[in-house]
Structure 1
Amino acid sequence: MSVRSTSTPRAASPLVWTAGVLAAVGLWALVYRQLVPASEAIVALLPVERHTHTGEALAFFFYDVPKVMLLLALIVFAMGVVRSFFSPERTRALLTGKREGVGNVMAASLGVVTPFCSCSAVPLFIGLVSAGVPLGVTFSFLISAPMVNEVALVLLFGLVGWEVAVTYFSFGLLIAIVAGWVIGRLHLEGWLQDWVRDIHSGAATPATDGTRLTLVDRYRLGLEAVREIFGRVWMWIILGIGMGALIHGYVPEDLMVRIMGADAWWSVPAAVVMGIPMYTNAAGVIPIVEALLGKGAALGTVLAFMMSVIALSLPEMIILRQVLTLRLIAVFAGVVGLGILAVGFLFNLLF
């Protein structure tokens, strides 16, 4: 009778895993730095002129798709490792209840120092939700990250002066904090997609004591989080950015000027509605803002348009559809949209 061996293959040491993770992060950084020249090189190989509408759209697509994919992989892995140190119960205990308002302020402030466009902010939003962070707190980050950052402030300062830049910063941050707080008070966690709700509640995570996991276990949990979440949303990221790239390359500037220059109450909501289908970051929309102001568009109307482009973009909504139900997306868009309308009307009144 043969005797079955009870020995198991020797597992890789934590040192080997750590070296592998550091090497992967280094490779990630190297690839990320090459995204712009790589996208330009790809467009140069195609039978299109770079500075045409088609060339602009293609360059935008070939840059933003790998950028968002890389951000998604890195952030979800990091959040998966971080989650291994905190049970969902402990995480919620730190950020819910009386701490929720503080959490909104902290999340909105984090968004200010992370210069993400709306779609780039979605990976961290997913990571925060999956880590058990309250929904309203994560929305504060999602709103402030694209809408308020140092690039937008510097460009606005140079374009229209420090008073407008500071006012924009203040109201953008206020919208992020208040909108996130309002969404949090509505307790809409049940309106997350089922698979996200399971992660958020801890149902999809084995019940383990974080102190008993080894470093290798934590790395494996991070990789598992990437596999699970990346596999669900990558196709929708490509679809959303593809739509955004098409719109980015064909901005109807003359039509927008005619609408935003109208001295009528409906110019602000019209500007918000026009901005939602478009997709760019704060730095990308500033040249459009400058052109619109130069042609006589009202300041508040233009800033409302700018906020809607970078905080309520349609491509962002397409990606979020894999995380949020349509009802929750509608609440998010409605709360943020009301804040943007208020800013637009106020700016038109004051300036």
Structure 2
Amino acid sequence: MSVNEEMVFNTLNMFGFLAVELTLLFLAISYIVGVLQEYIPPTKIQSILSSKNGKGYFVASLLGAITPFCSCSTIPFLKGLLRAKAGFGTMMVFLFASPLLNPIIIGLFAVTFGVKVTLFYFAIAMSVSIVAGITLEKLGFEKYVKPEAYIEPEKKGCGATCGGKAKSESKWIKIWKSTWSDFKKVLPYLVGGIAIGSLIYGFMPTEFVANVASENNPFAIPFAAVIGIPLYIRAEAVIPLSAALAAKGMGLGAVMALIIGSAGASLTEVILLKSIFKNKMIWAFLIVILSMAISAGFLYQFIF
């Protein structure tokens, strides 16, 4: 197999894998969120994740740490929080923290880089997520949430009557219809993001990334942070890939920036967020992740 054929194969393989995985994840998580909303009243969620309650920010970051979500599968949970009218700041904390503090990433981090580096990463991700959530709320960024993001999907079907006869529809079917309606809205964003991310994954050689982001390059850490966003990598793959890049000469500060950029804001997630946020909120989200990635990279390099 030639180099070009291998790149095409890797691209198609990644597209197929991500399309199936993210579709199943989105549907499953959306349905679970729907079930939770059926049993946990919105007022309860509001009280737990209320911005007026100082503990809400910390609870949101812990919720992010215990949910095994990647950056894309965080979106349906975020939609559920929006519809429950949870505090805006705490929702943002969850959005930042959930993919970065994914238990899979933390576990692999500890095995690959050791406990000390893992604790450093955890502390940076959690503290920056909380500060960013509070800051965005104080600056009034809630106004950049699209109004339709708060609206429940329209229930289609006969409803209470069908052909003049009373008909009761199972609540499980209603939840599924709401889930499917949400999925159809984000499907174009999902496919577009996966396609672009798969092309970058398939055609960008790891040797190029390692050489450009070596310790000798003063711009290595910002470059690694930026390149991490379009290079969508699953939680189970981001740490092993980073270890391989480090072995090829990539600086460990740049490795840290790459992990945060890739895990915290994949291109697919950014495209999906356009169905919820206006452009100014998207830019604010990217600035937070990039700032976190770059500062963590330089701080790691300085401390270790």
TM range (shorter): 0.7 to 0.9
> Following the alignment from structure 2 to structure 1, what is the Cα–Cα distance between the partners of residues 294 and 94?
20
Query: In 2, Cα distance between the equivalents of 1:122 and 1:57?
Result: 24
Give the aligned length: 291
Q: CA deviation at 1:308?
A: 0.2
Q: Sort the Cα spacing of 1:282 and 1:70 in 2 relative to 1 into closer, same or farther, 3 A.
A: closer
> SS where residue 263 of structure 1 aligns?
coil
Which residue matches 1:334? 287
Contact 2:49 2:56 in 1 (8 A): yes
Cα shift readout 1:166-192 (whole Å, capped 9, x = no counterpart): 211221222222222322333322211
Any stretches of 5+ residues in structure 1 without a counterpart? 1-46, 206-214
- 1:52 maps to which residue? 6
* Alignment equivalent of 2:111, drawn from 126, 139, 158: 158
Q: Is the 8 A contact 1:260 1:267 kept in 2?
A: yes
Shift of 1:88: 5.0
Q: For residue 35 of structure 1, what is the aligned residue in structure 2?
A: none
**Distance in 1 (alpha carbons) for counterparts of 2:219 and 2:105:** 26
Does the 8 Å contact 1:179/1:336 carry over to 2?
no
- Counterpart Cα distance in 1 of 2:39 and 2:104: 34
Mapped pair 1:231 → 2:184: yes
Matched, 1:73 2:27: yes
Match of 2:126 in 1: 173
Contact 1:117 1:145 survives alignment (8 Å): yes
- The amino acid of 2:109's aligned partner reads L
Q: CA deviation at 1:229?
A: 1.6
SS at match of 2:72: helix
Cα distance change of structure 1 residues 226 and 158 upon mapping to structure 2, 3 Å threshold? closer
Deviation (angstroms), 1:98: 2.8
What residue in structure 2 maps to residue 14 of structure 1? none
Identity across the alignment (%): 28
Match status 1:324 vs 2:282: no
Q: CA deviation at 1:313?
A: 1.5
Could you tell me how far 1:86 is from its partner in structure 2?
A: 6.1
Q: CA RMSD in A?
A: 2.9
The Cα offsets for residues 285-323 of structure 1, whole Å up to 9 and x where unpaired, read as 223211222133221121111110111221211111111
When structure 1 is superposed on structure 2, of 235-244 and 81-90 the one drifting more is 81-90
Greater gyration radius: 1
Deviation per CA, 1:220-267: give whole Å up to 9, x if none. Answer: 552342243222111211211122222222233222122221435422
Bigger mean CA offset, 149-158 vs 239-248: 149-158
The change in CA–CA distance for 1:186 and 1:85 in structure 2 (over 3 A counts) is farther
* 1:121-159 deviation digits (Å, cap 9, x = unpaired): 222222222222223322222222222233323333333
**TM-superposition CA deviations, 1:267-295 (whole Å, max 9, x none):** 22121111121101232122321122213
In the alignment, which residue of structure 2 is the partner of 1:26?
none
In structure 2, the partner of 1:282 is 235
Q: Against the structure 1 CA distance between its residues 148 and 86, is the aligned structure 2 distance closer, same or farther, given a 3 Å change threshold?
A: closer
